[in-house]
A and B are shown apart, each in its own frame.
Chain A
Amino acid sequence: MKARQKRMVFVALGLVAVMGASFLISKAMKGNLAYLYAPEAVLAGDVPQGKLIRLGGLVKEGSLKRSDSALEARFIVTDNRGHEVTVVTHKILPDLFKEGKSSVSRGQLKADGIFYAEEVLAKHDANYMPEEVKDVLKKEHSPAQPVTEGTK
């Protein structure tokens, strides 16, 4: 193969690779990005219904209730400023899940205003709180504003 032809092959392969990669990425990104929202944003109606999102906040003290017959747990996620959203899950809650502690739930908001979680995460130790939830709680005096802007 002549040098020029070889260069063309390299360029062509590179182009195919870049194009293929961009196609795959744009396709795969669609619908697989889960934005984090605060309870405030949910109440303000900023959260699209039926779309996979994450909800972050504190688990309200005394709000955890379990079903007697099925594996179902209900709890309230709050930002300690009066904004509260009820979460329902049919999954096992993690070891670190506790009332009064932070949690991030992944799931969908349905028309009944309840957040149905496919997965509940809790990450904390004595003094650690997920950075993301910290931001949710910090916005104490800022105007009503979702944690995320890019909701599209």
Chain B
Amino acid sequence: MIPELGHFALAVALALAIVQAVFPLLGVKFNKPQWVALAKPAATAQFFLLVISFGCLIYAFIVSDFSVKLVASHSNTAMPTIYKVSAVWGNHEGSLLLWALVLAGWGYAVAIFSRSIPAVMLARVLSVMGFVGIGFLLFLIMTSNPFERLPFPPAEGRTLNPLLQDFGLAIHPPMLYMGYVGFSVAFAFAIAAMLGGKLDSAWARWARPWTNVAWIFLTGGITLGSWWAYYELGWGGWWFWDPVENASLLPWLVGTALIHSLAVTEKRAAFKSWTVLLAILAFSLSLLGTFLVRSGVLTSVHSFAADPERGLFILMFLAITIGASLMLYATRAPKLISTGKFELVSREVGLLVNNITLVVLTATVLLGTLYPLIIDALGMGKISVGPPYFNNISLPLGTVLLTMMGVGLFLRWKKDNPKRLIKILWVPAIMALVMAVVLPLLFIPEFKWKTTLGLLLSSWVALTALLWFVGQGRSPFIKPLSAWGAMIAHVGMAVTITGITLTSMYSVENDVRLEANGKPYEVSDYAFKFIAIEDHQGKNYKATRATVEITQGGKLLTTLYPEKRNYGAGTMPMTEAGIDGGLFRDLFIALGEPLGKKAWSFRIYHKPFVRWIWLGGILMVVGGLLAAFDGRYWRTRRRLKSNTSESKKAETLKGATST
């Protein structure tokens, strides 16, 4: 009964999405306030129905209702409850339902926090989000019904991919989805602006916090995913340039560009059509990511089902969404006239360079990701694009980007004087240079130019951010939240870059053969001694567990227990690494295979500063949060009420929305 209720709620949600998409738009066109007024209640109701639907699915998983096909194939009674719940989105259908739920959630949030947005604008925004919702709900109902029943329910279910039975995974996909789908709000705002034919700084002020929040979630999701891959996949890497990882990086890059471009649109009424294009791109890349991951074009931990029908549906949805929005852009963008004037040396141009670099980086990563697919589709052979391609590209582009990050903060709007800039910037430049040269000399015996470059850039970004922050606001102590946000996010980037540089340059990664109680393996001043191997019974798995003692200078530092786990018949064995983490280095050991004669293979890593990569990600999230909750957005919202674009139409329709 409960699953049917969930299915029914899904169908009603689709009907409501259609109402939300069609009526407000027609209402604006034909001036029917009652129709426009439908936008908010439809968005609200659609969200609550999807909550019910999703709740029903969670319930089916928790009580292990194996008559539901999805539950039977992805969950069993032995699994801990938290993984029963996370199994809901550890599969194709459930994760799509989560996607639709998150989309409706964003729509609901827009409907609630929109008192200051003119009714016409709000109607259009919600309508666009309704259209996106229709696409996903149709996809769910037509090709991927999560509530499908089995005629002969099995007594026990299969299991969730053991890789996915992990806390990191329990929160990584919802987080990433919040980010992906969050760009639908910026997208909807952009389409609404084009439909209205007007885009002013009030518009940018509405769109900014939404874009920020989406970016925060995406940043958090990517950081979590990288951390999860590091400790759970047993490879000890933090980024593989895997197509699926790239799929999440692409909207992040464009989203970062969008955040900065929106600032220009708000403050200087410039870059209007560029901002709109970025908003379309960010969401399109989110959709493309979904297509790549969910269509089975790529094979990885992330692709659950390779069903050509599904792939075709997403591809068509993608083509319609991107095609229609770009067509609209082609006809309407020329009308979005940017009035702000600026000189060659100005913050506008600084941000433009940052934007262009980010977009170029996006394009090259996209090319590297799609190239093997295109070549294969053309029948020209099967190739893979290796990580060196992406590394070679991000090094020079990242250098430009990080250099501009420091300069851009100090540039003045409209017009600046290069001499003034040099007067300010030589101090952090010299300091960064000293840090980049002296620090490696003190701590690292060998000189590598990439280390120096990486440290130079990261200390440059951090120092300029701090210096800029000190000069912000009237009082030396009380700063606006947005200034805190920008400073912390920039410092976070610097921390991540430091981590990337030092981990990439100085990691020791070795596959070795160790005999029980044999000769220890030495990495820098650590000695890894393999003591013994034994069987270990876990909650819902059996494991082979090794005991490895790590000594430093003859003293026992720690004992690690890398495992090889087996989650029962029919599942893949998996590696659980032993990690001794620290702020300045991680020691990582994974168990390989038995080699006979009491010997096993081990993968031993020494990774300096690897945690800085994720620490920086956390700082960026904190910075983004502070910026999104800057009082400015919320105060001005009230003040600007009905005093903006299309205010006449808004007046006529005002009564309609107050209900």
What residues make up the interface of A, taking CB atoms closer than 8 Å to B?
1, 6, 9-10, 13-14, 17, 20-21, 24-25, 27-29, 31-36, 52, 54, 66-71, 90-93, 95-96, 106, 123, 125-126, 130-132, 135, 147-151
Contacts and interface: CB of A to CB of B under 8 A. Distances in A.
Given A68-B596, A68-B597, A95-B575, 9 more contacts: A1-B343, A1-B344, A13-B352, A20-B360, A36-B384, A52-B386, A71-B601, A92-B602, A95-B564
A33 B385 contact: yes
A34 B388 CA distance: 11
A145 B512 CA distance: 38
B299 interface: yes
A21 B574 CA distance: 40
B511 A92 contact: yes
B381 interface: yes
B364 A71 contact: no
B4 to A, nearest CB: 30
Nearest to B357: A17
B635 interface: no
Given A24-B364, A90-B511, A71 B595 contact: yes
7 contacts: A1-B342, A10-B352, A32-B385, A35-B383, A92-B593, A93-B592, A123-B299
A95 B603 CA distance: 13
Nearest to A146: B381
Contacts of B392: 24, 27-28, 32
B396 interface: yes
B380 A92 contact: no
A36 B104 CA distance: 43
Q: Which 5 A-B pairs have the closest CB atoms?
A: A148-B381, A28-B392, A92-B592, A36-B382, A71-B513
B375 interface: yes
Residue among B359, B384, B572, B596 with most chain A CB within 10 A: B384
B393 interface: yes
Contacts of B343: 1
B357 to A, nearest CB: 8
B383 A33 contact: yes
Given A9-B349, A27-B392, A35 B575 contact: no
B450 interface: no
B389 interface: yes
Contacts of B592: 92-93
A36 B381 CA distance: 7
A151 B383 CA distance: 10
B553 interface: no
Contacts of A96: 572-573
A32 to B, nearest CB: 4
Given A32-B385, A93-B593, A149 B380 contact: yes
Interface of B: 234, 299, 341-344, 349, 352-353, 356-357, 359-360, 363-364, 367-368, 375, 380-386, 388-390, 392-393, 396-397, 511-513, 564, 570, 572-575, 590, 592-593, 595-597, 601-603
A13 B353 contact: yes
Which DSSP category, helix, strand, loop or mixed, fits chain B's interface? mixed
Given A14-B356, A93-B593, A150-B375, A1 B341 contact: yes
Contact of B299 (A1, A28, A131, A151): A131
A25 B601 contact: no
Contacts, number: 116
A141 to B, nearest CB: 19
Given A92-B592, A123-B299, A24 B382 contact: no
Contacts of B356: 13-14, 17
Contacts of A20: 360, 396
A21 B360 contact: yes
B363 A21 contact: yes
Nearest to B341: A1
Given A71-B601, A126-B570, A32 B389 contact: yes
A71 B512 contact: yes
Contacts of B357: 17
A92 B602 CA distance: 8
Contacts of A130: 299
A150 B375 CA distance: 10
B384 A66 contact: no
A24 B396 contact: yes
Contact of A29 (B359, B389, B396, B575): B389
A132 B373 CA distance: 12
Contacts of B364: 21, 24-25, 28
A130 B564 CA distance: 24
A11 to B, nearest CB: 12
A31 B389 CA distance: 9
A106 B385 CA distance: 12
Contacts of B359: 17
B337 to A, nearest CB: 11
Contacts of B390: 28
Contact of B573 (A67, A95, A135, A150): A95
Contacts of B575: 95
A25 B393 contact: yes
Contacts of B602: 92
Contacts of B513: 69-71
Contacts of A90: 511
A35 B389 contact: no
A73 B322 CA distance: 49
B476 to A, nearest CB: 35
A25 B603 contact: no
